[in-house]
C-alpha cells in the first residue's frame, strides 16, 4: 500500500516542496492542495507546511485558519487521521484550535534560523515511534514566533496526557517547558517548530527528520488493511 | 447606521512582551529615566453598519473573539463612537477620542 499525503498550500507557504520531496523519498505519494479547495483528496495524512501564510498578517496563522480547506483538515483530524503542522503550520493549527496554546514572538526578539537538538519526550506517538525516548534529534528551526505558551490548567492537561513529543535541549525561543512539538489530546495532530523535512537527507546535515516522517508512515501502514 | 469603532488588542497581563521590554530598554538608553511597564499592542479602527451602538459593540466584540484577538494570550477592548451627524458628539468627533460602551 502506498501512503498518501495531502500538503496544504496557502499564499505565502514555502516549505511544501521540501515536504513533498522528503515524504516522496520515503515512498509517500504526495499531492499539493490549494487553500481555497473545500475538500482534501483521499489521503492518510495531512501536512500543513511552513512559510508565511497570508503574509502572517494580524498574527501568524490568524487568517489561514479561515481558509476553505481548513474545514476539511478539521474533519480529517476529527476522524482520527494524522495531521502534522510544521513551523507556520503549527501556528495555523493553534489558531484553528486543533492544538492547545499559542505561539508568541520569540523571547529574544530574534528570528532564529539554526540547527537545534530536540529530545524525544514521548516515543509512543504516531510521530515518534521510530525514535527512542530521550533520543536527541538534530533538526533545524527557522521562525520568529515559536515561543509556545499555554495557561497552567492547559499545561497540566498536556502533561497528564503526555502530549509533549519533543523538547529543545537548548531552548532557542523561550517556549514554555522547552516545548518544540506537541500533539492534541487525541494524539493524532502534531505541531512542531523544527523542520523535519529539512533534516531528511545526509546532504542536508541530518537525516533525523526521517524518523519523524517515517513514524507517521509506519502508523498509517499499520492501519491499512493487509 | 454606520458606526466608527476601535478594538485595542493587548497581550494579557503576565504574558511576557519582549517587544515592550526592548522598547523600554531603548527609552532608558535614550535617557528617559523612570520609564517602565512598556507594553505593545494593536489598535484596529473600523466602521461597521449596525442598527444601534450596542449592536455595533456586540459585532466588534464577536470580531475580536473570532479573529482580531487570540484570547489565549491577548485581551481586547472595544470602543464605539456615536454615528457621525447624530448630534450627540458634534460633526467632527475625532475618531481616536474613544467613547467606551458601558
ipTM of the complex: 0.85
Partners of B19 on chain A (C-beta within 8 Å) are 105, 109
Domain assignment present for B76: yes
Picking from A62, A66, A194, A71, the residue whose alpha carbon sits closest to that of residue A128 is A194
State yes or no: is A195 an active-site residue: yes
**Touching A: B residues 31-70, CB under 8 Å:** 42, 67-68, 70
**Do the chains contact at B18 and A105, CB–CB below 8 Å?**
yes
State yes or no: is A197 an active-site residue: yes
Q: What domains lie within chain A, and their CATH numbers?
A: 4-223 (3.40.50.880)
Domain assignment present for B100: no
Mean pLDDT score of chain A, rounded to an integer? 97
Domain assignment present for B99: no
For A65, A72, B83, the CA distances from A36, given in Å and listed in that order, are 12, 11, 37
Predicted confidence (pLDDT) per residue in A206-224, tens digit: 999 999 999 999 999 998 7
The count of domains in chain B is 1
Statement: residue A102 has pLDDT above 90? yes
Kindly state whether A59 is in contact with chain B, defined as any CB-CB distance less than 8 angstroms.
yes
Domain assignment present for B86: no
Domain assignment present for B96: no
Domain assignment present for B91: no
**Do the chains contact at A107 and B18, CB–CB below 8 Å?**
yes
State yes or no: is A219 an active-site residue: no
Domain assignment present for B92: no
**Do the chains contact at A149 and B15, CB–CB below 8 Å?**
yes
Kindly state whether B102 is in contact with chain A, defined as any CB-CB distance less than 8 angstroms.
no
pLDDT in the model for residue B84: 62
Q: At what angle do helices A16-25 and A209-223 cross, to 10 degrees?
A: 60
**Do the chains contact at B16 and A104, CB–CB below 8 Å?**
yes
DSSP state of B26: H
Partners of B11 on chain A (C-beta within 8 Å) are 104
Statement: residue A205 has pLDDT above 90? yes
Find the domain containing B67 and state its range: 2-80
Predicted confidence (pLDDT) per residue in A148-200, tens digit: 999 999 999 999 999 999 999 999 999 999 999 999 999 999 999 999 999 99
Mean pLDDT across A32-60: 96
Predicted confidence (pLDDT) per residue in A5-42, tens digit: 999 999 999 999 999 999 999 999 999 999 999 999 99
Q: From the candidates A54, A143, A195, A219, which is the catalytic residue?
A: A195
Domain assignment present for B45: yes
Burial pattern A29-66, b for ≥16 Cβ within 10 A else e, equals ebebbebebeebeebbbbbbbbbbbbebebbbbbbbbe
Q: Which CATH number fits the domain that encloses residue B52?
A: 3.30.1280.10
- The torsion angles phi and psi of A71, rounded to 5 degrees, stand at -60, -45
Predicted confidence (pLDDT) per residue in A72-96, tens digit: 999 999 999 999 999 999 999 999 9
pLDDT level of residue B90 (50, 70, 90 thresholds): very low
Amino acid at each position: 500500500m502506498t501512503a498518501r499525503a495531502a500538503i496544504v498550500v496557502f499564499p505565502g507557504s514555502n516549505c511544501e516542496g521540501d515536504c513533498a520531496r522528503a515524504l516522496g523519498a520515503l515512498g509517500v505519494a504526495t499531492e499539493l492542495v490549494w487553500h481555497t479547495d473545500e475538500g482534501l483528496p483521499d489521503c492518510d495524512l495531512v501536512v500543513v507546511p511552513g512559510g508565511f501564510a497570508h503574509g502572517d498578517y494580524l498574527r501568524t496563522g490568524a487568517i489561514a485558519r479561515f481558509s476553505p480547506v481548513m474545514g476539511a483538515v478539521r474533519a480529517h483530524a476529527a476522524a482520527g487521521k494524522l495531521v502534522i503542522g510544521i513551523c507556520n503550520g503549527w501556528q495555523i493549527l493553534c489558531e484553528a484550535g486543533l492544538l492547545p496554546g499559542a505561539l508568541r514572538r520569540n523571547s529574544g526578539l530574534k528570528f532564529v534560523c539554526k540547527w537545534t537538538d530536540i529530545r524525544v519526550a514521548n516515543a509512543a506517538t504516531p510521530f515518534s515511534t521510530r525514535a527512542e525516548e530521550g533520543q536527541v534529534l538534530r533538526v533545524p528551526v527557522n521562525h520568529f514566533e515559536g515561543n509556545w505558551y499555554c495557561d497552567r490548567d492547559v499545561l497540566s492537561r498536556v502533561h497528564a496526557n503526555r502530549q509533549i513529543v519533543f523538547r529543545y535541549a537548548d531552548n532557542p525561543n523561550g517556549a514554555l517547558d522547552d516545548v518544540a512539538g506537541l500533539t492534541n489530546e487525541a494524539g493524532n495532530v502534531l505541531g512542531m517548530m523544527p523542520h523535519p523535512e529539512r533534516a531528511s537527507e545526509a546532504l542536508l546535515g541530518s537525516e533525523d527528520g526521517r524518523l519523524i516522517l517515517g513514524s507517521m508512515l509506519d502508523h498509517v501502514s499499520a492501519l491499512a488493511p493487509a | 447606521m454606520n458606526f466608527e469603532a476601535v478594538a485595542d488588542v493587548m497581550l494579557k497581563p503576565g504574558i511576557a512582551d519582549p517587544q515592550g521590554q526592548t522598547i523600554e530598554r531603548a527609552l532608558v538608553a535614550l535617557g528617559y529615566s523612570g520609564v517602565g511597564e512598556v507594553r505593545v499592542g494593536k489598535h484596529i479602527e473600523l466602521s461597521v453598519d449596525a442598527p444601534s451602538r450596542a449592536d455595533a459593540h456586540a459585532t466588534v466584540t464577536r470580531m475580536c473573539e473570532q479573529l482580531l484577538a487570540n484570547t489565549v494570550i491577548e485581551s481586547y477592548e472595544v470602543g464605539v463612537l456615536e454615528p457621525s451627524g447624530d448630534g450627540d458628539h458634534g460633526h467632527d468627533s475625532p475618531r481616536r477620542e474613544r467613547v467606551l460602551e458601558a
